[in-house]
Amino acid sequence: MPRFSAPLIVIAILIAGCNGVGGAASSTPSTAAMNPAGPALVAATRPSLQLKITGGPGAGSYVSDPSSSLNLCSRATDGSWRALYAGGDPWISVDLLVGSRAAEPGRASDLALEISAGAAYLWIDQGKFRGGDAPGRSRAAVVIRSDGGSTTFDVKATTPNRTSGGDGQPSDVALTVVCAG
């Protein structure tokens, strides 16, 4: 089982138990990323996701199922965003953290992303929120668009598939997450 699954289960339990209410405030994105409760929430909604993986295991196109029990997009008081999703057919899990400064020039790589899809386990942490990628391991950038009624995150990335023996064949990722509100 990828090490991504355990944190997802803990987060799902916290979300169910707290009914979407954020925990104690945090002053740094790295603390927020490692703490499932994170900084106080400004807003939480159910996002829609579209994911395309090219190359490597898990190659294919995936869309979110709105009835999934873990489907949360939240904006924190520190300006960071987090989208958590697990479900669908075929089943996928996505954990996206977009740093509070990702919309600033030169900061589009301030993100962390974990994806499990089929045989793929993809992990990107260029923002060094969860320990960080080694230099050159992954490339990722996010474009953020707001239209008053929603915020859209378009992530383009290339990263190796994580295996028990280390990094495997690289995959290209195109992920679009739309958070209402």
CA torsion, ordered 172, 163, 125, 113, to nearest 10 deg: 60
Domain count, the chain: 1
Determine how many CB atoms are found less than 10 A away from the CB of residue 134: 8
- CATH number of the domain bearing residue 160: 2.40.128
pLDDT band at 40, cuts 50/70/90? low
The secondary structure of residue 148, as a DSSP letter, is: S
pLDDT band at 60, cuts 50/70/90? very high
Distance from C-alpha of 116 to C-alpha of 18, rounded to nearest angstrom: 25
pLDDT of residue 28 exceeding 60: no
Average pLDDT over residues 109-116: 94
pLDDT band at 175, cuts 50/70/90? very high
pTM of the model: 0.76
**Residues in the chain, total:** 181
Distance from C-alpha of 70 to C-alpha of 136, rounded to nearest angstrom: 32
- Helix locations, 21-95, DSSP H: 29-34
SS3 content of the chain, % helix, strand, coil (to 5): 10, 50, 40
pLDDT at 133: 85
pLDDT band at 7, cuts 50/70/90? very low
Nearest to 43 by CA among 127, 151, 177: 151
Domain coverage including residue 117: 5-180
pLDDT of residue 127 exceeding 90: no
pLDDT tens per residue across span 71-98: 999 999 999 999 999 999 889 999 999 9
User: Contact 93/68 with Cβ under 8 angstroms?
Assistant: no
pLDDT of residue 56 exceeding 90: no
C-alpha 150, offset from chain centre: 17
The single-letter code of the amino acid at 21 is V
pLDDT at 41: 53
pLDDT at 159: 92
Distance from C-alpha of 148 to C-alpha of 132, rounded to nearest angstrom: 33
User: Contact 76/94 with Cβ under 8 angstroms?
Assistant: no
| 3-state class (DSSP) for residue 34 | helix
- Range in 48-52, 67-71, 163-167 with the lowest mean pLDDT: 163-167
